[in-house]
Amino acid sequence: IVDFSCRDGKLWDTTMLDCRLQVIPFDSTTDFTYVVDLVGESIGLVSIQDNRKPLVVDLNTTRKNIGRSDLLIRAIGHKSKVVIDSTAGIGKDAMQIVMSGRQVVMIERDPVVSLLLKDGLRRISKQPFADRITLLCGDSIDFLGKITADAVYLDPMFEKTHKSALPGRDL
């Protein structure tokens, strides 16, 4: 079980809407594993027990020119205009799809990852492509029958194994 907290109430209030996390006042004597905290001007997941780099969703690092030969774009189909990324994660694939000119509905069920994604979207809100991205917090099964789209992209996470039969590349 991982406990979460946040130290900045104003940023939390503006980013937190509909992400289903309970705010727990931070107390340095409390034994938290992770806290949701400010990292610069971003919200990040910070480890309290070691010096790991905080997890911050940075959607500005996606390649800007995605071609038709890109494997992900070929997988979803060139005719697809609206794509549902039903396992959004940290938004890397969704941003790649958006940069190819499509509209993306991201669905992320983990409330903490949803919060980090929402903060990442907040920071790119002035970009010209930002209006083509929507984030829904919850289980994709609850949303899929209610959204009209040309393609549904599903990228499940698998445990790391030591078997060599797995491909070494993305996709």
| Per-residue pLDDT, 165 | 63
Higher-scoring residue by pLDDT: 49, 118: 118
pLDDT band at 148, cuts 50/70/90?
very high
Q: What is the mean pLDDT of residues 37-46?
A: 84
DSSP H helices in 82-167: 92-99, 111-123, 140-143
Phi, psi of 134 (to 5 degrees): -130, 140
pTM: 0.78
At 57-66, the pLDDT tens digits run: 999 876 666 6
118 class by beta-carbon count within 10 Å (0-12 exposed, 13-18 middle, 19+ buried): buried
Average pLDDT over residues 47-56: 86
Between 65-69, 91-95, 115-119, 138-142, the lowest mean confidence (pLDDT) is in 65-69
